[in-house]
């Protein structure tokens, strides 16, 4: 019996090793070697060629921006913006960044503070009329300590037949109409929440008078 178990374990180890070797080989990317004496133009051309090679080998699909002192040296899309490979990616393609966009939302708030248009200690309700969470500050949204329930996606799904496009304005309107009970007092608990950042994005729009995208 022990011999059979050890044999099975050995086979499993061999199979596991094979798959590990296969995937490591698949994930391995060509090395990018740039001579130290290459000119800036040559370096950018080498990087461009490297990304082209990665794409051809199905190892990269995306948009790249390389900049120096505020100037774009390389801004280019490699691959496609859709799974059907019908829409080429360009430097102007709109991509769903998911929660990576939270850092840009936070930066937008801090930019408005730098411009003197708000402070992170402002009450959120002072900028979003009708919001029931009267003691929540912008700082609490940024730090994920607002205590506001993370329900905006649930509310959107419940009202999807009436919503053609879920904007920040509509999402906040749904939150105000629902007025769900807070799960904690401000700054009492940390809880990662997409709703906090929807509220921040809407504050940016209200205070700046521009769309969040702009």
Q: Which residues contact 29 (CB under 8 A, 6 or more apart)?
A: 54, 59, 60
H helices present in the chain, as ranges: 2-27, 40-56, 102-114, 124-127, 138-142, 152-158, 168-178, 194-208
φ and ψ of 128, to 5 deg: -120, 95
Q: Which residues contact 37 (CB under 8 A, 6 or more apart)?
A: none
Find the farthest-apart pair of alpha carbons in the chain and give their distance in angstroms, rounded: 76
Residue of 79, 48, 54, 206 lying closest to 138 (CA atoms)? 206
Q: Which residues are catalytic?
A: 99
């Amino acid at each position: 019996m022990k011999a059979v178990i050890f044999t099975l374990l050995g086979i499993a180890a061999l199979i596991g090793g094979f798959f590990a070797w296969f995937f490591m080989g698949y994930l391995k990317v060509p090395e990018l070697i740039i001579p130290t004496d290459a000119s800036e133009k040559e370096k950018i051309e080498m990087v461009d060629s490297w990304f082209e090679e990665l794409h051809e080998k199905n190892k990269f699909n995306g948009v790249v921006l390389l900049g120096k002192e505020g100037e774009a040296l390389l801004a280019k899309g490699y691959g496609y913006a859709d799974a059907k490979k019908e829409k080429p990616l360009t430097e102007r393609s709109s991509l769903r960044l998911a929660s990576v966009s939270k850092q840009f939302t936070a930066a937008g708030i801090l930019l408005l503070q730098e411009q003197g248009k708000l402070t992170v200690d402002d009450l959120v309700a002072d900028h979003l009329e009708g919001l029931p969470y009267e003691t929540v500050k912008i700082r609490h949204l940024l730090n994920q300590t607002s205590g506001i329930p993370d329900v905006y996606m649930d509310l959107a799904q419940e009202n999807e037949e009436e919503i053609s496009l879920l904007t920040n304005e509509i999402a906040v309107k749904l939150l105000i109409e629902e007025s769900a009970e807070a799960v904690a007092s401000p700054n009492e608990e940390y809880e990662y929440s997409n709703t906090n950042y929807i509220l921040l994005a809407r504050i940016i729009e209200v205070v700046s008078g521009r769309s969040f995208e702009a």
